[in-house]
Chain A
Amino acid sequence: DIQMTQSPSSLSASVGDRVTITCRASQSIGNYLNWYQQKAGRAPKVLIHSASGLQSGVPSRFSGSGSGTDFTLTISSLQPEDYATYYCQQSHSTPRTFGQGTKVEIK
């Protein structure tokens, strides 16, 4: 199974800050990497597909990069509605696996 490791597990940031979350796969997954946002008590929502593809309707302050084993989700200017938990997920092989999540909190 492919293990996905996110860092950090949590972070505190202020509105307007640039935020970067990293995700590492235990083996190469090409660009088969997706990012999700989950707010408390809600279902996850896909933000980025295929490592860098912005999902329709997602604000352009979200971006993704990387390939192979190392990936990054960047929020260019953190907004109040962005406080949530973020997960990476590989779609290269079965079982589909997720990172453990990164909780973005208000500073």
Chain B
Amino acid sequence: EVQLVESGGGLVQPGGSLRLSCAASGFTFSSNWMSWVRQAPGKGLEWVANINDDGSEIYYVDSVKGRFTISRDNAENSLYLQMNSLRAEDTAVYYCAAMVWGGPFHIWGQGTMVTVSS
């Protein structure tokens, strides 16, 4: 079964850090671009970051540049998002997704909730 499973979400204070993980199975993880997409409560979808198959190309939305770091471990079939200097506006469900370059986010995880609040 094709699957992405996120973990690592939770409640964190403003200025704090959190590391999200995404475990992939059922498809060739090492051949796929991977992404993080988030959704604030009651709001729409926002792309956060992309990483290519070997980790040599990385892109971020402007609002997280310098604070978030996407990485991957192909040996472990895992994707990560290190989130530092968290702000209230980072509160969202964070989805891990496999992406076709020039195409859609074609595989999605179930999401993990991140709440930034004092």
In the assembled complex, A55 has its CB within 8 A of some CB on chain B: yes
Shortest Cβ distance from residue A15 to the other chain B in the assembled complex, whole angstroms? 26
Contact B47 A97 (CB under 8 A): yes
Contact A46 B47 (CB under 8 A): no
Closest residue of B by beta carbon distance from A50:
B103
In the assembled complex, A91 has its CB within 8 A of some CB on chain B: yes
Chain A: how many interface residues by the 8 Å CB criterion?
24
Contact with B102, one of A89, A91, A101 (Cβ below 8 angstroms)? A91
Contact A43 B110 (CB under 8 A): yes
Closest residue of A by beta carbon distance from B101:
A91
* B interface, size bucket: 20 to 34
Contact with B103, one of A42, A44, A49, A87 (Cβ below 8 angstroms)? A49
Contact B103 A99 (CB under 8 A): no
In the assembled complex, A52 has its CB within 8 A of some CB on chain B: no
The contact string, 1 if C-beta is below 8 Å from chain B, for chain A 33-60, is 0101010001111100110000100000
Please provide the 3 A-B residue pairs with the shortest distance between their CB atoms, ordered closest to farther.
Answer: A34-B104, A43-B108, A96-B47
Q: List 25 A-B contacts (CB under 8 A).
A: A32-B102, A34-B104, A36-B104, A38-B45, A43-B95, A43-B108, A43-B111, A44-B95, A45-B108, A46-B106, A49-B104, A55-B106, A89-B104, A89-B105, A91-B102, A91-B104, A94-B59, A95-B59, A95-B61, A95-B62, A96-B35, A96-B47, A97-B47, A99-B44, A101-B45
A residues with a Cβ closer than 8 A to B are: 32, 34, 36, 38, 42-46, 49-50, 55, 87, 89, 91-92, 94-101
B residues with a Cβ closer than 8 A to A are: 35, 44-47, 50, 59, 61-62, 95, 100, 102-106, 108-111
